[in-house]
Every structure is written in structure tokens, then in C-alpha cells.
A and B are shown apart, each in its own frame.
Chain A
Amino acid sequence: MVQATSVSIQKIFVHRDEHLVGMEVYEGQRVKFYSYTYYVNMRDSWQPCVRWDNAEQQPHVDRYDENGTLIEQQHCREKNFKEVLKLVKIFRRNLAAMNLAEL
């Protein structure tokens, strides 16, 4: 039986210049793909700062520099939006300087 596909796209402003974008693609009840990206507005441009996703079924966390270029990637356990939102609210811009392995 073919499972119904649904998509959830959430954007939460944690501050005027910071937001978290979450995208989840479900097949039935199962999350097939997720991505949670923390964006920071720098020089009038929204740049990704830290991102958790499970592209190619590999849960990982990415860190970007101020130009939005990927600078570091670490494997991490699967995350959900609530967990990531909590991290983002607590650490905000400090996420850029934290040890990715701990996120």
C-alpha cells in the first residue's frame, strides 16, 4: 500500500535577525526527510549558520561560515524540530562557535 505523503514547513523567528526553518517530509507517520536550518541575517542576507538534516539517510549536523559556506560536518543522532528549537533558543549565535559533536 502506498503511504500518503505530507510536508511540514515551519519557520520560527527566535529574534528579528534569526530564524529556524524546519522541513519534514512524511510517508505515512514516518519522517522520510528532515532538515532544520538556523539562519542569521547578516548584511541584509539570510545566511545558514547551523543545519541538522538526514539527507541520504545520514543524520548529520553542518556548520557554515558567515558567507554561507559549509565549513564543518559531523554525524549526529536523529533530531526533531522541538529538540533543535530548544538548542537554537538556548545557544542562538553561540551555535556557530560550539563543538558540533555536542549538538
Chain B
Amino acid sequence: MRVELIKHYTTEDVESDIRRLVDSYVSLDSLSQKVSVTKCNNPRLQDELMLWRALLAPHVEVRSSVAFEGSEKVANITPARIDLLEAIRRTRPHSVRELAISVKRNYKNVYDDIQALSDVGLVELVVKGRKSRPVCTADEIKFNLES
């Protein structure tokens, strides 16, 4: 079985990715220079450059997916955790505590669920100061029984 986590970028996601690239490389020109110096020595840089150029195109569509083989990770996706994913998308909480309050559940249990979802790659914890903001990394989960 293959489990695929899919994300379709929103305009906000595109802007946020461009901000990440600016933070990392300052400008498209400086990244371009780095790539021409390192040539094929750094595949990640080459991909970042191509991504950045594409993100600047008007109405760009980006589909990102992470897939893993095997069914053991599916056990991590319980109904309660799916409820949490929906709550994250709906309420956009600033912290795990805020999420626990919004779903009226015990903080420790929610924290453990978030860790489990993070292990599968469905949630990313964005650290800002002392808070960790849970962010949903996928908007579609696909189970493929044939692969």
C-alpha cells in the first residue's frame, strides 16, 4: 500500500515559500549565481532556483506530495487525529494549547496526537518564540492499494 499526502498551494503558501527563499538566499540573482558556481554539485540549490522562478509566474499552480510505502503508518491516522487536522485547518491555532482548547480536549493528549501526526508528516510544528504552531501539511490523503 502507498499512502500519499497531497498539498495544493494556496496564494498564501506561494507567498510564504517565496519569503522562505528570500530569507535563505536574499535574492533570485544571488541564488542563480550560487547555482552557476556550484553547477551540479548541489542538487537542492538547483531545485530551489527552478522553484523560485516558477513561483514568480502569474497564477502558478503547485502540487506537493509525500508518499510512503507500507501500511504501518496508517495506524497513526485515527479518527480523533483526523478531527484535529480538520480543527487545525478550520481554526488556524497559534499553539498546541490553543488547539486543545478549541477542540475541548486535554492538552497532553492533543500534544501526543500532534507528535504522531508530525511523525507521519501530516503536521509541521512551526516554532516561534516559546510557542509551536501546528500547521497542516496536506489537504488530501490518498491510499493506493495497487503499489
Complex Cα distance, B60 from A82, in Å, reads 24
Task: Answer whether A23 and B50 are a contact pair too, CB < 8 Å, given A35-B43, A51-B43.
Answer: yes
Task: Give the shortest distance, in Å, between A83 (CB) and chain B (any CB).
Answer: 15
Q: How many interface residues does chain A have, given as a range?
A: 20 to 34
> What 0/1 pattern do residues 9 to 34 of A give for CB contact below 8 A with B?
11111100000010101000000010
Q: Does A98 contact B (CB under 8 A)?
A: no
Q: Does A42 contact B (CB under 8 A)?
A: no
Q: Which residues of B contact A25 (CB under 8 A)?
A: 50-51, 53-54
Q: Does B59 contact A (CB under 8 A)?
A: yes
Complex Cα distance, B57 from A2, in Å, reads 10
Q: How many residues of B contact A (CB 8 A)?
A: 27
Q: Which residues of B contact A70 (CB under 8 A)?
A: 39-41
Task: Please state if A12 and B63 are interface contacts (CB–CB under 8 Å).
Answer: no
Task: Please state if B69 and A13 are interface contacts (CB–CB under 8 Å).
Answer: yes
> What 0/1 pattern do residues 37 to 57 of B give for CB contact below 8 A with A?
001111110110011011101
Task: Answer whether A53 and B54 are a contact pair too, CB < 8 Å, given A7-B60, A73-B40.
Answer: no
Complex Cα distance, B61 from A8, in Å, reads 8
Complex Cα distance, B137 from A75, in Å, reads 36
Interface centre among A2, A7, A9, A55 (most CB of B within 10 A): A7
Q: Which residues of B contact A48 (CB under 8 A)?
A: 43-44
28 residue pairs A–B, Cβ–Cβ below 8 Å: A2-B58, A4-B61, A5-B57, A5-B59, A5-B61, A6-B54, A6-B61, A7-B61, A8-B62, A8-B64, A8-B65, A9-B51, A9-B63, A9-B65, A10-B64, A10-B67, A12-B68, A13-B69, A23-B47, A23-B51, A25-B53, A25-B54, A35-B50, A48-B44, A53-B46, A62-B40, A70-B41, A73-B40
Q: Which residues of chain B have a CB within 8 Å of any CB of chain A?
A: 2, 39-44, 46-47, 50-51, 53-55, 57-69
| Complex A-B, nearest 6 residue pairs according to Cβ-Cβ distance, in ascending order | A5-B57, A6-B61, A13-B68, A9-B64, A7-B62, A12-B67
Q: Which residues of chain A have a CB within 8 Å of any CB of chain B?
A: 2, 4-14, 21, 23, 25, 33, 35, 37, 48, 51, 53, 55, 62, 68-70, 73
